[in-house]
Each structure stands twice: as C-alpha cells, then as structure tokens.
Structure 1
C-alpha cells in the first residue's frame, strides 16, 4: 500500500505539472495574439488629428477709446483747457524736476 500511494502521488503531481505548463503556454500564445490584434487595429484606425480650435479671444487695443473718453470728460469739466499729452505716468521724476526748477528760480535775482 505504501508503494502504490507514492506512485499515485507522483502521477498526480506529474499530471498537475503538465497541465500547468500547458495552460501557461496557451495563455502566452493568447496574450501574443491579442497584442497583435490590438496593434493592427491601432494602426488601421489611426487618423490625423486636427489641431484643437483656438478659443482665445483676440486681443483688442482699447487705448484709443480710453483716450477719447478721458478727452471728452476733461472737455466737459474744463472747457477752457485743452489736453496736450496723454501717456503713462513716470516714476515721479517730473514732480521732482518741477520742484527743483521752482526752488532754483526762487533764488534768482529779479529784473
């Protein structure tokens, strides 16, 4: 009885091993076939993709409209004055220069 049990166990293990190797080989073959099908389908369905549309609004230069609005407001409020120049304010150098000019002029002898 001991010898028969060992032989049956060996035969069962051998059958399990063969079944495992056979299932592993079939699984690898199926995986290869599936990846080949996916590659073929990907190549056949590849289309040229159009670039996405540009949704950004075009930049508008509103400086002329701002200048016109400021000019109209000054003309309404101060009709006897006229605007000579509209531009970006500088870093306070004009005020300093005007102050120095007035200070130096105050020391000048009067004629």
Structure 2
C-alpha cells in the first residue's frame, strides 16, 4: 500500500508540474503497471548520477528494459509486450533516481 501511495504521488506530481521536455508533458501516465519489482537494478548507477541509464534489469527474473526517452528524473522504457501490463504502443515510466516503476504511458 505504501509503495502504491508513493507511486501515485510521484505520478500526480509529474502530471501537475509538467516537464521541460514536450513529449513528457503530453505523455501522462495512463495506468499503473502491474507486478513490477520494488526497483529496477542498474549496477552502473551511482546515487550522485543525474542521468537515466539503460538497460535496467528486473532483479527477480533478469528481464531487461531499454531506455527510449527521458527528462530527468524520469525515463520511459521499452519492455517486452505484456510484461508489467504494458501493451503494444506503450512504455513503462521509471524513476531514474530510485529505479521504481511510476506507470504506463503511450509511446
């Protein structure tokens, strides 16, 4: 429940504040992702980095997701169709600082 509240808060904040990247302003979260890990892993990431990395890995099963676009501190990643509830023509938005899934956006 705490994770869902945090995700919803971050999504609401991103939607209300907008972003400097036009595509991010237009691409709001359309629904929450399902069965995501607590965080996606990137062994090259350091806490002081201010860039989104690719690929990220699901530490539970090794699924890799690949970066397509970003506006710090979030990025949209291509995932295997059906994984995490992502359908064709959609991407998974991830918080680059924490590795937590935010939700699903249109590609």
> What TM-score, normalized by structure 2, do the two folds share?
0.21
Higher strand share: 2
Higher helix share: 1
Greater C-alpha Rg = 1
> What TM-score, normalized by structure 1, do the two folds share?
0.20
Whose RCO is larger (CA < 8 A, sep 6+)? 2
